Copies of this chain bind each other. A is one copy, B any other.
Amino acid sequence: MPGNLFGQAFRVSTFGESHGPLVGAVVDGCPAGLELDLDFIQAQMSKRKPGQSRITTQRKEADEVQIVAGVYEGRTTGTPIAALIDNKDNRAKDYDHLKNAFRPSHADFTYQAKYGHRDHRGGGRGSARETAARVFAGAVAQLLLQKSGISVFAFVSQVGSLMCPRRYDELDLSRTFDHPTRCPDPATADEMMKMIEDVRKQGDTIGGVVTGVVRGCPAGLGEPVFDRLHADLGKAMLSINACKGFEIGSGFDGVRMRGSQHNDPFQNVGGRILTTTNNSGGIQGGISNGMDIYFRVAFKPVATLMKKQKSVNSSGQPCEVEGKGRHDPCVVPRAVAIVEGMAAITVADHLLRNRKSRL
């Protein structure tokens, strides 16, 4: 049973490999009548696309989206929206040496174990190239959410041990994409930049954290008991390449707290019931409470190194592998757009699912 579908009411599926002719996305369930702002969509694509600074892979892809279904005269028709994104800068030869060797901590071995037959070029379907399709679908979701006054943000809050000293609500999130690191705190951003460059020069890689924020989400989204809003957000994030952790609101730090410190008291603010603190991260009992939703997503260091590593080949013989393709030294700057996209898809799905929870 396959796993290339996400969502129930706003359903996203993706297809395509890193070094095939294209990657694609199908968005099924988007209501009819939505104006698809192509400039906005392309701008979202650009936030993720490679080759934009010296701290990302030098693969050159325009990532131009071609919408081939579901839109008529600029507006959605309620039928599946399909988009194709060409793979132009393939260098399949860069991967010849990996046809029968497994890169440590990459998906090479597990795909081989599962499927027996795989497209090894660029990591095939396991490549981050697949996430371009997600960003397209996420952009459609964002346009839909805007109609309900919901907006989604993400930014880099940590690289290696270097953490942004300010919380999301102390930052100007509109400035995130002004800096190649995607950290909206300029001083921290510059330090991060330097750190990533250092790592890259050593042929090494480093991990990081992306913080996500959803604003304007009404109370009532999320479907107990299994499809809690934060459970689906967590799954969405953990399905992104290199993600190893997810926490919402107080997260792992909240573990250390007493209930009397952690609980978010309710208050009536002009007829709206709000909380005075927000350790819950905007979700209680799996259902949004109308406060900001915020969460942190942990990304491990990229597996492909520009240095020799010990491994084994598909015959089980010891070998050495070394990256020849073009790879990111740190995944988080490009992951920001993916986190935004997956968050938007998840919230859009729950927004549409939530219609009619009461008579």
Contacts and interface: CB of A to CB of B under 8 A. Distances in A.
A17 B69 contact: yes
Contacts of A13: 13, 26, 28, 80
A340 interface: no
A99 to B, nearest CB: 11
Interface residues of A, number: 151
Nearest to A120: B72
Given A113-B289, A207-B256, A299-B255, A104 B15 contact: no
Contacts of A43: none
A201 interface: no
Contacts of A261: 301
Identify the interface centre among A199, A230, A252: most chain B CB within 10 Å of its CB. Answer: A252
Interface stretch (A51-59, A172-180, A276-284): A276-284
A252 B245 contact: yes
Given A4-B80, A268-B317, A357-B31, A259 B204 contact: yes
Interface string A244-287: 11111111101111111111111110010101000111011111
B228 A238 contact: yes
Contacts of A3: 222-228, 286, 353
Nearest to A233: B238
A158 B256 CA distance: 9
Contacts of A248: 238, 244-245
A70 B23 CA distance: 11
B258 A205 contact: yes
Contacts of A31: 356-359
Nearest to A158: B255
Given A5-B11, A301-B257, A238 B234 contact: yes
Given A107-B287, A219-B114, A287-B113, A244 B239 contact: no
Contacts of A258: 160, 199, 204-206, 301
A33 B298 contact: no
B26 A26 contact: yes
Which 4 A-B pairs have CB atoms at the shortest separation, nearest pair first?
A107-B285, A3-B223, A3-B227, A245-B247
26 contacts: A1-B8, A1-B223, A2-B11, A2-B227, A5-B226, A9-B356, A15-B28, A31-B357, A32-B117, A78-B118, A79-B119, A105-B284, A110-B220, A114-B358, A126-B285, A160-B257, A161-B256, A206-B259, A226-B239, A231-B235, A245-B255, A247-B252, A259-B304, A263-B303, A266-B310, A273-B316
Given A78-B117, A113-B290, A207-B254, 10 more contacts: A3-B225, A32-B117, A109-B266, A110-B220, A110-B288, A116-B358, A231-B238, A244-B250, A246-B247, A265-B311
